[in-house]
Structure 1
Amino acid sequence: MDILNALCFLFLTTIQTLHGSRGAKIGNLRLSPVNADFNWIEPGSDIIEEKPSGVPAGCGGKPVDVYIAIDTSEGVGNNLVNAQLDFTRNIINVFDFNNDIARVSLVAYGSDATTIVRLGAYKDRTSFEKAMSEIHTMGGQRSIGNLLNYIRTHGFMPPYSRRSTAHIVIVMTVGNSDDAEYAITEATLLKRTGAYIYGIKVTREVENDLLTKVTSNPTVKFLYDMDGYQIADSLTSLLSVRPCEGLRNPELPLQYICQAKRETDVIFAVDHVSLGAKTSQQIFDFIRAITGSMYAENGLIQVGLAKNRNPNFDGIDRSLETISDFKSHVTDIAFPLFDSVLARARKMFYGGRKGSQKTLVLFVDASVDIDKTALMESSRNKALKIETYVIAVGEKLDETSLSILASGPDRDHIITLKDFQQLMEFEKTILKTICRGW
């Protein structure tokens, strides 16, 4: 009778494992879910300490395309796959799926990588979680290099990804990659496109040496152990996500309107040649006022000005000369256009701090020539993740051109005013809009 009871117990336990109400599927095996946060998991261990999740639901934030990569290489057991899936279920709570603000993809990798959930395929967290159950193992030796190459050359390429949004990769790994040099090379190429790379160490076997070179800088904000959800704070800050129900940030001193949570480089771009002296002076007075309202004591904010070059008069304005020489010099005079201001701003950004938030503020009115070349330069800036705000003044401005100049067609990136005198009138509103992403 004791033997019969033992067999029945074993049978029921097996059935519960194979037919959990929710879980990941590897081949024909359905894994029972792990609905908990956890402490360190030792390779081969099936024991996971339960404790409540601490990831609040996120609302709003910057548009972002996210790839979450789960390690399913050879030797990664079902319990470790489950742990990564559960971590994913909790961490996606940070992202706002509404209106495609956040589009999230799930990738499985081993020696190769494959997409389990296509980027943007699901418009809510619940549907995304259900789709995660179709995960399957890749097997083979762990190759972070092949994973990053797959995401760089496939995942973040059109038509799958949006070029002008933030790009984030979250790599979970159970052990060390067998292709360290290749992984570093691919990570460097991916980061050059403006993507941010996070690393999540699932077990204690994972060494820091490689991951500190693969992940974005500073390491303390992009490399985490999988014993909690500290990454949520980093993502919330990076993407300016607001907690749907949560605490407000501490109030700033009264004289300050906004502050940066990370290194932030801000450039104001002014085509002073086209705008003229009087208008340019109004803009410079406004810039002086709002920079005085930025909290600068922590040293995170740096500010610059990109202006147009003055026309080259080649000495024609210094002395009298013959009519022939005068006509020759006048013919050579060329007035630089708005595109050169945009190109100069880009050069200034990439001569500055690596990994910083890059914010560009443009001032335009009907006198600024927003031609095809200017729109092309602006598209290059946005492709490099330079967040661009446009302060458009007056009438007769083409809305389509403004939406191409800005990082988005919405009110959050295009600020319209009747005249330049309104700059000072709406100073606080404008600054709050610009610094929302810091």
Structure 2
Amino acid sequence: MARIIINLTALLCFIGLLHHAKGANCFEKVADIVFLLDSSSSIRQEQFQDQLNFVQNVADNFKIGSNNIQVGAITFSDETKLNFQLNTHQTKPELKSAIARIPYVGGGTNTAKAIAYAQEKMFTPENGGRAWAAKILVLITDGFLNREHYVAAHQEAYFAKFDNVTIMAIGVGSGVQDKDLEGLASTPKEKYVFRVNDYQALNTLRNELSIKTCQVPPQQDQSSEENLEPEKQPRKFCGGKPADLYFLLDSSNSIHITDFDRQLRFVSDVIDIFDISKSHTRVGVTLYSDGIHPVIPINNDFDKDDLKYRVSKLQRLTGNTNTAAVLKYIREYGFRDDIARPDVAHIVVLLTDGKSTNTLQTEMEANLAHKAGIYVFAVGIGNMASIPELMAIASDPDESFLFKVTNYNALRHLRNILAIKACTVEATPNDESVQNDFACGIYSPRDTMFVFDGVTLGLEKSTILRKAIGKIAKNMGLESRHDQRVGVMSEAYGHNTDARLSEIRDQASFEERLGSAKGGKLRSLLRKLRHHAFLPNNGGRSSAEHVAVLFLDERTEITPRVIHEARRTMFKIKLYVIVVGSEGSIPGANRICSSPADEHLMYVPTYDDISLSTVSIAQQLCDA
């Protein structure tokens, strides 16, 4: 008997809810509702008609008018098509007639573009949007073409929800996953996510959707941050957040000077949100194009006003987009132990409006940055920014760390969103396995010879290289893998300071065997390397891969004879070049290393930085 009473009560409640959906209370609801209707080729003409019937039936549940509920409609496929604005049809018969006339289009599925259009255009005052009305987006979809399309749609949905648009996501069929719908819809998910098996079943949602629509609260006054939810108050939410944050700003040829200035204003706006101090948030800025230009170090002593002023005075560079190089630089030097704080979040915000010069290298460097515990936010600007590459650059999940805006003006919409996202990340413990004990992934015998001109460099720099080579060799598995042999050649003519491949089995042996050298030039070093280094009586093995690592600095001159000798050497030996100096400081360095140059040519800014680069050098030697 109790069960009957409970069920009867539930039935009465449900009837009451239906009455609420059609009754006086809901008729007094003030809301702006935009329907996003899938018109892609994945649905048939009759299924599209089922969508239109559903929208008409939902409209029947409301009082339509400028003081009550207004309805707009958009169809989307490859492109977004506006069917009518919120204020176009102010009577129910006129609205239902307009819905019935919406044409089917066909094509692909660009849900992201439709959501962006709705958020940016549909709720504006000139198109009927009312500041006091609830803003509601009803999205009907049967799936996404691929992961790239889903990430883009999720991001646009996040922007819309941050702008206080309530999104109701309706999934049709088995082609759309629950997690996809949950990523698009407002919270709580159980209130705003709907599922049906097919388009004919949409009408079963008519009353439930109407009830949920009636329950959406009206707009609050957004003129003051005090009226926002706590998670949308960036200064309160982020003010005391301790973090080390770098902005990596694209300064390539593709960026107009006015757009570069908009990047700077965006950086200044984000800085304005944080408490800038040595104990709270510290901000550094690096520009990148062909080369890397650290313009504001993270360990600066500037207060907020001074920091913003210095950002505003930065000058645009020119060149290509070497994204891999700037990620490598920040990982190796930006967050090194003597600069970054170990107990705070390490964050990078990278802005770009194009594809990098080397996608594979960029993806590799991004992966190394992630493994090093660096949170990377990737911001793509304009149509030329590659979503797949941004997905590789951004930390996981992409939905939280990837942003794409249509142009530089739109960056201003990211200010609060990006700041709040950055505030949610926590410091990650230093991964000792990545930083200090890298395991080389070599699965075949390899003989590696390290080469430098000890006489030209002098004792101090030669000593630095000796210690660094020992660390590199250890990270390559010298002490744990007996199929790896490592040797050193530091003079062009003599033999007393060289170490044969078969002689050294530990790091200390390098430093003991390498003494002062007695003269030599680069061309002679290369000739000696080619003729003698890998001979059997010097420990070389015919069954092993032969690799040489050549250290140079800015005093090195690459002559035609050197290039000729290097090319002859590369017929037998895989040749890496490590330049101690800025990128481009040795013209022709890319002509004396194996191909492709971006895998076999490395740059270390100064000799002081070499010991900090031994892990990444070992990684590149192993990976390639």
- TM range, normalised to the smaller chain? 0.3 to 0.5
TM-score calculated relative to the size of structure 2 = 0.30
Higher relative contact order (CA 8 A, sep 6+): 1
TM-score calculated relative to the size of structure 1 = 0.42
* Larger radius of gyration between Structure 1 and Structure 2: 2
